[in-house]
Amino acid sequence: MPTRTRLTGLLLRLALALLLLLPAAPLLWPAPARAALDSDTYDGNIYALYAGNGSLVPPRSTLAQALGAGRPAVVVYYLDDDAASKRFAPVVSELQRLWGNSIELIPLVTDPLQNRADGGPGDPAHYWRGLTPQVVVFSGGGRVLLDAEGAVDLDVINEAVSEATGIPLPEAFRGGSSTVSINELNAEVVSGGGARR
């Protein structure tokens, strides 16, 4: 019978080892990462994840610096855990591609702006209306040329930026849609009019 006692002891040690390892099982087999474009969940930096462009944040200058230097600026208010902001991220990336050398593109997460006192015209809180996304285009003189909420058409923003910079908008940027490559996902940034290929 010593064999039976050894076998019972071995089975008890094995059962105890399994019980001790059970809480660690999720660490051994982690769940796959789930990024959700159409949900209000935090997935990380939306510009890196959904627009393939992590260079947008942090912005290279503040609104006060841009206005002080007399540079046209585009401020985009967003939240990383907002589905509408996630879907709008490729448009912001496209703005950088088209206008990056001519404007200050300032994407701002709105969490720090909530319930904060308005610091005047150089303060982004002065223009934010509490919704995301929101796009505000400023001329070099600080005049607001566009203040729009939601998924603003790229054409509408391009027209305002063209006015702000004094650079005529090339025909290729007018009407139709532009295809923007986003990591492994292709999405279309649709702006008024029909598709163009």
Query: Could you read off the pLDDT of 19-41 as tens digits, one per residue?
Result: 887 777 777 766 666 777 888 88
Domains identified in the chain and CATH numbers? 46-171 (3.40.30.10)
Residue 188 has a pLDDT of: 45
- How remote is the C-alpha of 175 from its chain's centroid? 24
How large is the average pLDDT for residues 163-184?
A: 67
The closest of 51, 35, 130 to 92, measured between CA atoms, is: 51
Alpha-carbon distance values, 51 to 7, 121, 134, 160 (Å): 60, 30, 17, 22
- pLDDT tens digits along 92-105: 999 999 998 999 99
CA 147, CA 107: separation in Å to the nearest integer? 14
Supply φ then ψ for residue 79, to 5 degrees.
Answer: -130, 140
Res 184: pLDDT: 42
Output b/e per residue, 90-117; b: 16+ Cβ within 10 A: bbbbbbbebbeeebbbbbbbbeebeeee
Whole-number average pLDDT of the chain: 84
Long-range contacts from 41-46, C-beta under 8 angstroms, 24+ separation? 41/81, 42/80, 42/81, 43/80, 43/81, 43/86, 44/80, 45/80, 46/78, 46/80, 46/85, 46/86, 46/89
Residue 197 reports pLDDT greater than 70: no
d(C-alpha 23, C-alpha 6), whole Å: 27
What's the pLDDT score for residue 73? 97
Report the pLDDT value the prediction gives residue 98, as an integer from 0 to 100: 92
Chain segment 121-136, per-residue pLDDT in tens: 999 999 999 999 999 9
Residue type, 139: S
Q: What is the pLDDT of residue 125?
A: 95
* Position with higher pLDDT, 113 vs 173: 113
Q: Is the pLDDT of residue 180 over 50?
A: no
173 pLDDT band (50/70/90 cuts)? low
pLDDT mean over 175-180: 49
